[in-house]
Amino acid sequence: METKERLAIPRQQPKELPAATRIGNFSEVVSGYDAAAAQQEAERCLQCKKPLCREGCPIHNDIPGFIRLLREGKIEEAYWLDRQTNSLPAICSRVCPHEFQCEGHCIRGKKGEPVAIGMLERYIVDWMVANQKSLLQPCALPNHRKVAIVGSGPAGMSVAYYLAHEGYACTIFESLPLLGGMLTVGIPPYRLPRPVIEGEFAALRNCGVEIVPGVTIGRDKSLAELKNEGFEAVFLGPGAHASRKLGVEGEDLCGVIHGVDYLRRVNLGEAGNLGRNVVVVGGGNVAIDCARTALRTGSDQVFILYRRGREEMPASKAEIHHLEEEGVRIETLAAPVKIHGENGRLRRIECIRMKLGECDASGRCRPEPVEGSNFMIEADAIIPAISQDVDPTAGSGLELAMSRWGTYQVDELTMQCSVPWVFAAGDAVLGPQTVAKAVHQARQAAESIHRFLQGRDLKEGR
Ligand SMILES: Cc1cc2nc3c(=O)[nH]c(=O)nc-3n(C[C@H](O)[C@H](O)[C@H](O)COP(=O)(O)OP(=O)(O)OC[C@H]3O[C@@H](n4cnc5c(N)ncnc54)[C@H](O)[C@@H]3O)c2cc1C
């Protein structure tokens, strides 16, 4: 189809990219605080009597508590206070969307700007590492009762952490050769350095957790087989790894690679440069990670196509800031309608302009196509990064109830599935969400598994 407007988004001359995005440079972009900066920031915390930051945090970390201890120079105590509620403080400090806790609620420093909670938490964790303090908690004596954990993402890691500290013999089964779920095969190393994740696995192994990579439960081994092998309970934390499709013609052409598939392949060392011009479709953190990764793998013109306006982009403000600083352009109110190819390979993307129509109860307005506004973009690759769904393989063979969104159906309080010895949490239950929400649900699941194996009521007192 001929369109009225051709190449409405013209190519730009390649320009010198910031050093952070030089090819192959995946080193951490945001540097942490030094002692003086951490003290100064900690001093800004108002130490509210009713800390809404704590309420806003999905795992209800005692944020004012650890900030107070930091102010008093008791950094080790601050770490252990944080660790009481957070099984993965080093990770959460770097990737949690703390801005929501601050802006959505009332924690504000004396100057009115939200306190940089994540940066302070990171300072505490990094201080512990730099000062060679042990991050390991004493583990309980083994009780020899076996629990199988499917998936090594933050949900699986957290269940293993809590149950291993109660003495259970936990085994984590992971499909991929790399451990950490989306922390490792999704979030790029320039936001979450790999040694930080490896440190958490070292702590789990120290508590006797066995880790078996390269085994897909539901395909290589069924849940029923796990039960026969003596596992008394199973935790499902397989996440949401199935890329959602755009649903437009040409999506199967060579040169189209979906967001989480692309990031996984880069992180596994299987994918590299996608060509000079790369278009990423989507407005969330996954889209931004894809765009910034494409720059680092050698593409020099990368831009984001998003169907709503900039204000509606779900990605965090900090991520959008870094993205633009690194030279990625954002084209809002535009969406792909067809992918054109030659000899089976992508050549151009046909797009349409959008306008915002009626808004729903949450205030989010529906994007509507502007008739006759089609335009073309030349591209070597397109990365649709619009969302992910749950792959139900893990539960194969058992009649586990699923929700209408294709996620595992659980009791909201206990995280128990429709089969009593199976529990689930994280993205597999919530759909694609956040690390902190996965950690929170995993903690509930671990408590339920403990009670289940003790023959206690799962709900009493919770
Ligand atoms: C690119 C990207 C960026 C993100 N950025 C952020 C961020 O900045 N902040 C934030 O809070 N959240 C972020 N998230 C979301 C966050 O990573 C997830 O919410 C979180 O990892 C979910 O944890 P999980 O343990 O439920 O699942 P996952 O982390 O997805 O882990 C599931 C694991 O289970 C394995 N698995 C699946 N099926 C099986 C099976 N049948 N047998 C064995 N193993 C199996 C998978 O291989 C995977 O390793 C991001 C996600 C992506 C994709």
Closest to 157 measured CA to CA, from 84, 209, 223: 209
Q: Answer yes or no: do 164 and 280 share one domain.
A: no
Q: Crossing angle, helix 259-267 and helix 285-296, to 10 degrees?
A: 40
Side chain identity at residue 26, one-letter code? F
In angstroms, the CA 226 to CA 221 distance is 7
Return the CATH number at 204. 3.50.50.60
Q: Is residue 8 part of a domain?
A: no
Number of domains in the chain: 3
Pocket test for ligand 1, best of 182, 185, 262 (most atoms within 8 A of CB): 182
Report which ligand 1 atom has the smallest distance to the Cα of 394: 41
Cα Rg, the chain, nearest whole Å: 23
Per-residue pLDDT of the chain (462 residues; tens, 9 = 90+): 344 443 344 444 445 556 666 667 788 888 889 999 999 999 988 888 888 888 889 999 999 999 999 999 999 999 999 999 999 999 999 999 876 554 434 445 455 678 889 999 999 999 999 999 988 788 889 999 999 999 999 999 999 999 999 999 999 999 999 999 999 999 999 999 999 999 999 999 999 999 999 999 999 999 999 999 999 999 999 999 999 999 999 999 999 999 999 999 999 999 889 999 999 999 999 999 999 999 999 998 999 999 999 989 999 888 899 899 999 999 999 999 999 999 999 999 999 999 999 888 878 889 999 999 999 999 999 999 999 999 999 988 888 999 999 999 999 999 999 999 999 999 999 999 999 999 999 999 999 999 999 999 999 999
pTM for the structure as a whole: 0.92
Q: Is residue 165 part of a domain?
A: yes
In angstroms, the CA 385 to CA 367 distance is 17
Range of the domain at 298: 19-24+242-388
Q: Whose CA is nearest to atom 35 of ligand 1?
A: 151
**Burial letters 328-359, b for 16+ CB under 10 A, else e:** bebbbbbbbbbbbbeeeebbbbbbbbbebeee
Q: Answer yes or no: do 165 and 247 share one domain.
A: no
Sign for the CA dihedral angle at 251, 253, 259, 261 comes to positive
Q: Answer yes or no: do 116 and 169 share one domain.
A: no
Tell me, using a 6 A CB cutoff, whether residue 222 lines ligand 1.
no
* CB 147, CB 80: distance < 8 Å: no
End position of a domain, from candidates 130, 157, 189: 130
What the block records as the tokens of 198 is 């490896």
Report which ligand 1 atom has the smallest distance to the Cα of 157: 25
Tell me, using a 6 A CB cutoff, whether residue 174 lines ligand 1.
yes
End position of a domain, from candidates 79, 103, 130: 130
End position of a domain, from candidates 359, 388, 417: 388
